[in-house]
């Protein structure tokens, strides 16, 4: 049996969380969706995986908001890229920010993609479905060795 790796959604807005999960399910994504509501909890979750060097719980992709409580998304991204077991993990910035400095800094820190959340529900759902289809079903990901 094939083990599906989870998706990590780091999102503090409950409405965006529900829309994202709904859109992924509608796209046929069956993977577990782990949700962390702030950057501090996301880092703790990922650090546990890195400490255990557990490739089966390593997310297939991280969907990361930038504007998070406690620790912001750029700091979470920096932690991922500076942790050897996590550094190849695909990270998609999924945010409402269209500020040029956020885009540049995200890519400078190693984001794989930067997607601005569309305001309209149907556009948001379509964008999330496409992200899920690409990063979960099509993307070939390197899995770190223990």
Dihedral of the CA atoms 20, 101, 47, 94 (nearest 10)?
A: 10
Domain assignment present for 143? no
Domain assignment present for 31? yes
Looking at residue 117, its pLDDT comes to: 80
Looking at residue 145, its pLDDT comes to: 63
**β-pair partners for 94:** 115
Residue 91: pLDDT band with limits 50, 70, 90: very high
Domain assignment present for 122? yes
pLDDT: is 142 or 125 the higher one?
125
Q: For residue 15, give both structure tokens.
A: 């409405």
Asked if pLDDT for residue 69 goes beyond 90, the answer is yes
Looking at residue 56, its pLDDT comes to: 85
CATH number of domain containing 124: 3.40.50.2300
Domain assignment present for 86? yes
Q: Which domain range does residue 114 map to?
A: 7-95+108-138
């Amino acid at each position: 049996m094939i083990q599906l790796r989870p998706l990590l959604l780091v999102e503090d807005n409950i409405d965006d969380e529900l829309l994202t999960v709904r859109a992924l399910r509608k796209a046929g994504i069956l993977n577990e969706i782990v949700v962390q509501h702030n950057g501090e909890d996301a880092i703790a979750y990922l650090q546990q995986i890195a400490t255990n060097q557990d490739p089966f719980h390593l997310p297939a992709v991280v969907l990361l908001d930038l504007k998070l409580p406690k620790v912001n998304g750029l700091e979470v991204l920096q932690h991922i890229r500076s942790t050897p077991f996590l550094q190849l993990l695909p990270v998609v910035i999924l945010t409402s920010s269209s500020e040029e400095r956020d885009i540049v800094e995200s890519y400078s820190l190693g984001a794989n993609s930067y997607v601005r959340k569309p305001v309209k529900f149907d556009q948001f759902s379509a964008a999330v479905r496409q992200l899920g289809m690409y990063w979960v079903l099509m993307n070939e990901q390197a899995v770190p060795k223990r």
